[in-house]
Amino acid sequence: MISVIILGAGNVATHLFRAFSESSQVSVKQWYNRNIKIIESFKNEVDITDDISQLFEADIYVLAVSDDAIAELSSQLPFENRLVVHTSGSVNPYDIDKKNRRGVFYPLQTFSKSVTVNFSKIPICLETLTKADYLLLKTLATSISNHTKRVNSDQRASLHLAAVFVNNFTNQLYRIAHEITEAKGAEFDMLKPLILETANKVQEVSPYKAQTGPAKRNDKKTIKKHLKLLDSKEYQAIYKLLTDSIQKTHGR
């Protein structure tokens, strides 16, 4: 059984705790956060602490904290030559203090504390500096996920950037669509089957082949009508930008 200590209390840390706790191959020995009140509700499930000098010994220490906090927190760890990994998509493993063995355990997914996820379907990107540490980290990853992949820092950075496009930017477009429908008393829920179909389609064909709509078919009349319906100059600019991008992609 692999022993783990989690450091941090955000969305990723919370979901990792739940996933590790449900695995028969992992023992979460301790959970650290500088503000212990945030994890106090878990005190009957795991040893919690806000004193970094009192961390237990474990096989792997998972820094599930903000990107900016990784270097400083790793430098404060009161031990050496243990495997310390972060969960960031964009931070280099060398940002972890060199007194310990370093690695990355990056679950490629969006997390909200209130939304349950199925970790077995989440890809976990792994990076270590030695083969022995990779084998240990892979064992941890496969204990909760059916999809693990060894990636280097450049590949992980590109995946993280792409994830911003498919998740964060797309979600902002959902928000704009929600505002557009609400302004006219239409129901945003009517769009949910379309949202699901769009996501499902790219499981089968490339995004290039899946593209439809007025921009691809160069329907100038519809495009002009849509722009007129948008009261916000900001939304008009977004519409024009994406329309131009689609037309350039498809040679219109």
**pTM given for the model:** 0.88
H-only helix segments in the chain = 11-22, 70-76, 131-142, 153-163, 170-183, 192-201, 207-210, 220-229, 233-249
Q: pLDDT (tens digit, 0 to 9) for every residue of the chain, 252 residues total?
A: 999 999 999 999 999 999 999 999 999 999 999 999 999 999 999 999 999 999 999 999 999 999 999 999 999 999 999 999 999 999 999 999 999 999 999 999 988 888 888 999 999 999 999 999 999 999 999 999 999 999 999 999 999 999 999 999 999 999 999 999 999 999 999 999 999 999 999 999 999 999 999 999 999 999 999 999 999 999 999 999 999 999 999 986
Q: Phi/psi at 139 (nearest 5 deg)? A: -60, -40
Which structural domains are found in the chain, ordered by start? 2-151 (3.40.50.720), 157-249 (1.10.1040.20)
